[in-house]
Every structure is written in C-alpha cells, then in structure tokens.
Structure 1
Amino acid sequence: MARLLMILLLPFSWLYAGVLAVRNWLYDAGWKKSEAFAVPLVSVGNLRVGGTGKTPHVIWMVEELLRQGHRPAILSRGYGRQTTGPRLAGPADSAATVGDEPWQYFGHFAAQNVPVAVAEKRGLGVHLLLQAHPEISIVVLDDAYQHRAVRPTLNVLLTEHARPFYEDYVLPAGLLRESRGGARRADVVIITKCPAGLNATAQTAIAQRVRRYSRSATPVLFSTYEYAKPQGLASVSRSEELPMADDLPNVPAKGAALLLTGIAQPQPLRKYLESQGYDIRYHAHFPDHHAFEPADFAALRAHWQPGWPIFTTEKDATRLRAAVLRPVLTGLPIYTIPVRVAFLGMGGAELRLLLPGAPAGALLN
C-alpha cells in the first residue's frame, strides 16, 4: 500500500522537483543573486526533511572553530518560534521566542560567548550578527542548504545512513526537499548516524552511490553518535532554568523507564537506552519541534511509576522549561542524554582541514 501511494504521488514530486530545479538554475546562472560576506559562512544542511543530525554536527563544528581560535556565531531560521524577523538570542529568550535548537545552542555555548541569532532571511541574520558582534570571524548556518540567497564558503550536506538521499524521493512521494542532484552543491557529504563498526568496504560502496549525484572529488565522510551519561534535571517547579538536580541519582537504576521525545528520529536514542539495560515501558513520541502542553503529559503520568527514570533529549528539554508545564512535571525524575558526534576513521581530521581558516597542522591534532 505504501509503495502504491508513493507511485501515485510521483507526478506531484516531479512537478515540485521541476520548480525547484528552475529556482536553482536561476541562482546558478546568476539571474537570482546570492549575497557573500566579509566573513566565511559554513552551511550545514540536508536534502531531506528533518532527522539527519544537524544540531550535534553544528555543535561539533562550533567547538572545533573555537579550538582553532575563531570567534564563531550561529545563525538558524528558528523553526517553531513564536516571533518573526531577525533576532539575537539573549538570556530573556526561550525556545518559544527563538526556537528549540537555537535555544539549545545558546545554552550550550553561553560560557564561550558564542552569539546565536535567528532569521527567516539568512542574509538579514548575518548582517544583524556582524553589526552586534563585529568580532565575529565565521558564521555557521544551521539548516541553510536550500537557502540560496546567501553564498556559503563551505557547504556541508548531511544524509542519514538509514535513509540516504540517493534512495529517497522528492516530496510528497518521499522526504526530499529537492532532487538528488542538489548534492552537487555540497563541498563535503557526511553520512550520519552510522554504526560505529561500519567497515571500509561498506563505506566505499556508500561513497560511490553518493558520487553519482555529487561532484566526483567531493569528500564523503562518516559519523556516528556517542551518548554521554544521563544528566538529571531538577523539578521544574523549583527553577525555570531546569538546572541539574542534586537529589536525583547520578546514574538512574537500570530496568523500567519511560521515554519522552519531540524529535524527528528518536529510534537511535531508544536503541541506545535499551542497549544500556533500560526497558522502555512507554514512549511518549511527539512530532519534531512539538510545543509541549500540559495535556500531553497525562499519558506519561499514567504509565509512570515511582523510581522509573524518564529520559528525554537536550533539544526537548529546552521546551520543557515553559512555565505552563511546571505543575505537570513536578516531581518527575527527568534525565537528558547528551549526544555528541564522532567521526569514523580520519573523517574528523579531514573535516577540520576543510573548515575556513583551518591551520595547516589541523590533520595532526
């Protein structure tokens, strides 16, 4: 049935892909202008709608740029926010005003003073950042692969190992935002969420399929997820900022647990928790960027028993800080599972060399 539906939708996908192809041609031919800036721009994006791991890869790149001595900034569209127009994230903001991912970036890099901004039109966002923070030496664009109005210095394309772009179709028959040929704009392609043991033979086969659509010399790298130990969160009735809790065990007891997610691809996290000995008795699975409401937690409370940990993601935790949720979350032992990117083989070293302004010795570090 699913395949039949896909076939029926293919004509609409071809129409949509055709419209986007004309748009891309207009940019490539110079009929539509792409704005360049005095500082380099690193674009991190995908061809598919959601779920390829942009947030942890942006964090990896910003951490690496900081290590190299850059003064980086992050610019995102701010999907799901209740505001519009260019906006700098500040301490008074929240996931509601800047979006969950930008708010996560703001909290993660607060100690390093990395500016974070949101803007539907990325050019306006870059101008805002440079005006407010003239010390910026590079801007990382989150989810801007299709935003052709700005010209990136480095275009990073992510595609998920479990559903690579070369096996997918354009909306509505599939989940691609544009045709597979969009991979030709990439300066590097990263296959994300790979099994840690993906061997060289499998990597070569994947790279060959990617290069049917990308430029032949485009590097193809492979990354996986590494999960850190659970981080306990205090009852939100006590703090709007959800600090780490002192009254929760550092490591929750193995056994029965609940999972709460509002992300596109929660399966890897669930598999990880199960591999660590947790029996997920109930998974409250909401759509990506879901704005949690008190009613959403009725089923969670009904399935929970005292002593059972409740796991969520760092991204979801940004939306749990809403004041309206404090009464329904009071007393629940909520833990986040930090996730970080690790590259297979020499992939991390290769990417370091591709970053604008990378020192000559980056490959050796």
Structure 2
Amino acid sequence: MAMRNLFYNKGIFKSTEFTLPIIAIGNLSTGGTGKSPQTEYLIRLLKDKFRIATLSRGYKRKSTGYVLADANANASLLGDEPYQFYSKFPDINVAVDADRTNGITELLSLEPKPEVIILDDAYQHRKVKAGFYVLLTAYGDIYSDDYLLPAGNLREGRSGAKRADVIIVTKCPSHLSGAKKQGIIKKLRPLPNQKVYFTAIAYDTVVYNGVSHLNTIEVKAMKKVLVAGIAKPQPFFNHLKNENDICLIYPDHHDFSDKDIKDILAAAKDKIIVTTEKDYVRLKGKLPSDKLFYLPIKTSFLDRGDEFDKAVLDFIADYK
C-alpha cells in the first residue's frame, strides 16, 4: 500500500481527473465508520441545488460492471448501501461500478448529466482524482490509535490521512466535551489546511416497515428480536434492547440465507423483528412485512455543521 501510494504521488501510476466536482468519502479502516449516513448527509445537502449522482462499487452485489439504478433495482443488483440510497432518494442517479473511472464516464454520458458526483467508500480508489476528500474515523477507534492489518483494522497506513480535506470523527457521544475533542484532534495531528469535525448518530424516533410505524419508546418496552448485519452493531442494540430481547448478529453486508430466515422466524414467534436500515433492504420480502421494522439513522454534527456545509458548497462553487 505504501509503494502504491508513492507511485500515485510521484505520477508513476496515473489518476484521472474529471471536469466536474467529485467528492470522495472513505476511511483508513476496514469499516464501521458511518460512510452511508455521511453520504446521505451530502445527498440531502446537495440534491435540491445540483443534479447529483452517487457512485459505489456495490460491495457483495451479484451483478458485474456498470449498473445504473432504475425501477427494477434491488439489493442483489446494486448492493445494500447503493440500493438504500436509491430507495430513499429516487430522484438522483445512483450507480455502481468497481471501475470508478468507467462509472464516472458512464454517468457523464447521461442526459442531463450530473453536476456533482459523490464517490462512496473511495478513499483508496486513486485511479480517480477527486476534488474533495472526506475522511471518516470512529470515536473510540480513531486511526491514530490503530494499526495496519492484521495487527489492527487499518487497510491503509495513517499517513494516508494527509490526502483528506476534512476529517470527521463519527459516532461520538452527543455531549462530547471540548477538552475531549481537543485531545482527539491532538492525536489525529491534522495538517494546517485540514478541518476536524465531530458527528453523532441521530436515531429516528420511530421504526418503519413501509406500511406502518411504531414509536421507539413503545418499541423499547416490547418483546422483540433485533437483527443486525453491520460492522459494529452494539450501538443499535443498546438503543433499542431490553432484557427480554433476542439479539441476532450477522457479518457485515450479510446475504441472508433460507436457514437464516428460518432461524430469525423461530426466534421471533409472536415478537416483532427490528433491524437496521441497511439490513432491511436485504431482508425485505424474505420476512413477513407486518413483523419486520427498521430504524433509520442520520449523521448529526455536534457543532460547526454549517461550517462543513459551507466548505462543501464553496468547493463546488469554486471548482475549475
């Protein structure tokens, strides 16, 4: 990885730069930093101002090559996260392609073509030179305290953080003191041009199933089965569970098999099933719709969110 980055930095390996603003979101670790909520934050910020598109590789999808989401899209075709984007924001272009250069070229052939492209999980995809890099690191597991695989969870060395325009510490407690923020910033050692922001996960006050919804206060008191196939599910469980609940944990981006569905139903019996938004797009249609609910989440800046928004909008306005 160090040699690969050196070759890109020296121009031995070539990066393609495009003639429109491209924002890349990613991390140095193997996952669990909240890329999807941050991508959705940018979609909400930009979708009413610009024609935007998202481009992901479509992790664990069953299709290959470039795919543009349409009415026939599903999680198998796009991958769970891109399908989630398309389900929530059907008016934007959502595409997947492991070859981001080709994917951007395909998006630019659309009429009308996008004015801004958001690259999801593309921090290490250096074949494309984005104009604005957003690096995420999770509170309690910041990259400056971590090590490269297999000793730790980093897929790229800490020096890769130098490419970031902004660094966001995600999944923070909602009341994080100024002293603790300064302690984290000191550990991260940002460059003079890099801004550091802090965000928390904001849970919705209701769970949904596409037809009806339940208040989360009511749900917390109910007997239920909680299902999660995400990188770090404990906060989800902690937010909803009570002592009578059953918590079922599966690997990140898990493709639920027939046996998994039988196991979930056997555990549920007369209980409702509550899952994460990302898991819902893979479980929808496999479990009874009246029993299956999901809990939406959003990224919430602890402070200076307007400053982050302005940095993104200024980048787009000033892009040449």
Using the size of structure 1 for normalisation, the TM-score is 0.82
Which residue is equivalent to 1:180?
Answer: 158
- Bigger shift: residues 313-322 or 281-290: 313-322
Structure 2 gap ranges (5+): none
Q: Are 1:63 and 2:39 matched, yes or no?
A: no
Contact 1:230 1:335 in 2 (8 A): no
Per-residue deviation, residues 139-190 of structure 1 (Å, max 9, x unmatched): 0000000000001110000000021111111111111111111111111000
Q: Of 106, 119, 122, which residue of structure 1 is paired with 2:100?
A: 122
Q: 1:231 to 1:116 in 2, by over 3 A?
A: same
Q: Does 1:351 align with 2:308?
A: yes
**Residue 276 (structure 2) pairs with residue 300 (structure 1):** no
- Counterpart in the other structure of 1:259: 226
Paired with 1:35 and 1:264, the residues of 2 have a C-alpha distance of 31
Tell me by how many angstroms 1:310 deviates: 1.5
Do structure 1's residue 165 and structure 2's residue 149 form an aligned pair?
Answer: no
Report Cα offsets for 1:200-219 as digits up to 9, x if no partner.
Answer: 110011011111xx423310
Helix, strand or coil for the counterpart of 1:311? strand
Letter in 2 for 1:303: A
Indicate which of 314, 322, 325 corresponds to 2:277. 314
Question: 2:295 is matched by which residue type in structure 1?
Answer: I
Report whether the alignment pairs 1:229 with 2:205: yes
For 1:153 and 1:133, the matched residues in 2 are separated by 23
Distance 1:108 1:280, change over 3 A: farther
Q: 5+ unaligned residues in a row in structure 1: which ranges?
A: 1-19, 234-243, 361-365
1:3-18 pair list within 5 angstroms? none
Alpha-carbon distance between aligned partners in 2 of 1:295 and 1:359, rounded to the nearest angstrom: 48
Q: Does 1:48 align with 2:11?
A: no
1:87 corresponds to: 67
What CA distance in whole angstroms lies between the structure 1 residues aligned with 2:152 and 2:64? Answer: 29
Instruction: Please report the TM-score for the alignment, with normalisation by the length of structure 2.
Output: 0.93
**Equivalent position amino acid for 1:192 in 2:** T
Return the offset for 1:279: 3.8
Q: Deviations over 1:65-103 (max 9, x none)?
A: 124x11111000100001111111111121101100000
Instruction: Please give the alpha-carbon distance, in whole angstroms, between the structure 2 residues aligned to 1:114 and 1:331.
Output: 27
Name the amino acid aligned to 2:55: L
Distance 1:132 1:150 in 2: 19
Contact 2:21 2:316 in 1 (8 A): no
Cα distance in 2 between the residues matched to 1:320 and 1:129: 29
Sequence identity percentage: 37
Q: Residue 117 of structure 2 aligns to a residue in which SS?
A: strand
Map of 2:89 onto structure 1: 109
Pick aligned residue for 1:142 from 104, 112, 120: 120
Deviation for aligned residue 1:135: 3.4
SS of the equivalent of 1:217 reads coil
Give distance in 2, aligned partners of 1:262 and 1:53. 14
Specify whether residues 189 and 133 from structure 1 end up closer, same or farther in structure 2 by C-alpha distance, changes over 3 A only: farther
- Whether the 8 Å CA contact 1:257–1:279 is kept in 2: the answer is no
**1:119–1:125 CA contact under 8 A, matched in 2:** yes
Partner of 2:129: 151
Cα 1:84/1:359, change in 2 over 3 Å? closer
Query: Aligned in 2, Cα 1:256/1:147: closer, same or farther, shift over 3 Å?
Result: same
CA distance in 2, matches of 1:41, 1:359: 9
How far has the Cα of 1:53 moved from its partner?
A: 0.1
Q: How has the CA–CA distance of structure 1 residues 229 and 133 changed in structure 2, closer, same or farther, with 3 Å as cutoff?
A: farther
Quote how far apart the aligned CAs of 1:257 are.
1.9
